[in-house]
């Protein structure tokens, strides 16, 4: 029977074998660093500005949806209160209008979710591209042999943490 291999576990194992497989003499000569990628990116000015913009966009979409939801709710109340006095044709017409409003609400809700997701991805892609460039440059300038993402290992000596430096460089990158 085949077992599924967890890719993250495999990478961690391979990294551990690589790091610990290096002889002591070589290990002392290695210059290592690690970055908490999430923290480095989320603490940048661009990310904070982007999240503020995303929040404003979300608030606007919520307000639009609440307005439409209120109209639907009012239509439902009106229909319920007046349905006995309406002709069957008029009742069917009002029910159809209500159905169309609900469909429009669902469509707008989906569109809002897609727009928010697209904007969040755009923000992350922009910062991600800068992040890769900054880390490579930092690694070359600092003569690092390896810069790893923080969650890759269970423990790394904090003296190897370069997250704050990377965040500062990301903020300086325009």
Looking at residues 43-48, what average pLDDT do you find?
A: 94
Q: What is the pTM of this model?
A: 0.69
Q: Diameter of the chain by CA atoms? A: 92
Per the CB < 8 A criterion, the answer to whether 54 and 127 are in contact is no
Using pLDDT thresholds of 50, 70 and 90, give the confidence band for residue 43. Answer: very high
Distances (CA, A) of 145 to 33, 37, 128: 8, 18, 21
As a dihedral over the C-alpha atoms of residue 61, residue 67, residue 70, residue 76, rounded to 10 degrees, the angle is -90
What average pLDDT is seen over the chain? 84
Q: Reply yes or no on whether the pLDDT at 79 is more than 60.
A: yes
Per the CB < 8 A criterion, the answer to whether 50 and 174 are in contact is no
| Secondary structure class of 149 (helix, strand, coil) | strand
Task: Give the sign of the dihedral formed by CA 51, CA 53, CA 56, CA 57.
Answer: negative
What pLDDT is attached to residue 63? 97
| Chain Cα centroid distance, residue 167 | 18
What is the set of domains in the chain, with CATH numbers? 30-172 (3.30.910)
Contacts of 69 (CB under 8 A, 6+ apart): 105
Looking at residues 14-43, what average pLDDT do you find?
A: 69
pLDDT tens column, 107-165:
999 999 999 999 999 999 999 999 999 999 999 999 999 999 887 776 778 888 899 99
């Amino acid at each position: 029977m085949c077992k599924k291999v967890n890719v993250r576990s495999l990478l961690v194992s391979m990294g551990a074998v690589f790091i610990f497989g290096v002889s002591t003499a070589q290990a002392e000569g290695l210059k290592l660093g690690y970055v908490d990628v999430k923290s480095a990116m989320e603490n940048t000015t661009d990310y904070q500005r982007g999240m503020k913009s995303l929040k404003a966009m979300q608030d606007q979409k919520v307000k639009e949806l609440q307005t439409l939801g209120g109209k639907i709710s009012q239509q439902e109340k009106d229909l319920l209160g007046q349905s006995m006095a309406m002709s069957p044709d008029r009742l069917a017409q009002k029910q159809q209008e209500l159905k169309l409003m609900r469909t429009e609400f669902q469509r707008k809700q989906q569109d809002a979710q897609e727009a928010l997701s697209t904007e969040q991805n755009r923000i992350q892609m922009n910062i991600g591209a800068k992040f890769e460039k900054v880390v490579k440059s930092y690694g070359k300038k600092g003569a690092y042999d390896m810069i790893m993402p923080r969650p890759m290992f269970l423990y790394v000596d904090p003296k190897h943490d370069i997250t704050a430096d990377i965040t500062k460089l990301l903020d300086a990158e325009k």
